[in-house]
Amino acid sequence: MRFRPPVVADGGAIWSLVKRGGGLDVNSPYAYLMACQNWSDTCVVAEDDDGLAGIVVGYRLADRPGTLPDTLFVWQIAIAPEHRGRGLGKALLAWLIRSNEPAWLETTITSSNLASRALFSGFARDGKVKLSITPWLSADSFPDQHEGEDLFRIGPFPSQKE
Ligand SMILES: CC(C)(COP(=O)(O)OP(=O)(O)OC[C@H]1O[C@@H](n2cnc3c(N)ncnc32)[C@H](O)[C@@H]1OP(=O)(O)O)[C@@H](O)C(=O)NCCC(=O)NCCS
């Protein structure tokens, strides 16, 4: 399995993987192309000879009052169904932390997404880094039938340079 930042040519395959995997809001193809074009350093794809096996789309939060500085926000992570449960999700998160060296990682997860909750909890536990979980968006924040989302905040990560 090879890990690398995405290029624009990956945008369509990332959209397809998210769509095929289920469990995630499928954003427009344009959104994934923008991520590949403009934020590829904070994204990663895993591929083997058959194509994409997993993706993470993330970006750095702008520093602003009330926001912890130096935070990598994971917008979406998806592993192809046939590659799940083998540590690929955790390995992709570890790759992103190594390559970006943020102090904090954040993501949001619904209560029913047990796989994702287990992924981020296990990632924090393995790295011996603190995890806090707080309610974030309630269901009535959404204009459609969407569960509320909890904010998962992991960190601070020790400096990778120490
Ligand atoms: C969530 C997802 C990315 C996990 O990826 P993965 O590669 O299968 O996860 P890993 O193999 O690295 O497992 C990480 C941990 O989660 C646990 N886990 C994985 N799938 C699980 C499941 N379905 N139920 C419960 N725990 C699960 C693993 O046992 C492991 O736990 P451990 O650290 O205690 O050993 C994958 O299931 C997926 O793509 N789901 C659909 C998209 C999605 O929901 N994305 C997240 C949105 S917030």
Q: How confident is the model at residue 158 (pLDDT cuts 50, 70, 90)?
A: confident
What is the token pair recorded at 125?
Answer: 């536990």
How far is Cα 20 from Cα 5, in angstroms, rounded to an integer?
21
Q: Which CATH superfamily is domain 2-154 in?
A: Gcn5-related N-acetyltransferase (GNAT) (3.40.630.30)
**Residue 160: its pLDDT value, please?**
55
Pairing mode of beta strands 104-109, 71-79: parallel
**Would the CB of 115 count as within 6 Å of ligand 1?**
yes
Percent of the chain with pLDDT over 90: 90
87 lines ligand 1 (CB under 6 A): yes
3-state secondary structure at position 143: coil
Q: Is the CB of 21 under 6 A from ligand 1?
A: yes
* Domain residue ranges in the chain: 2-154
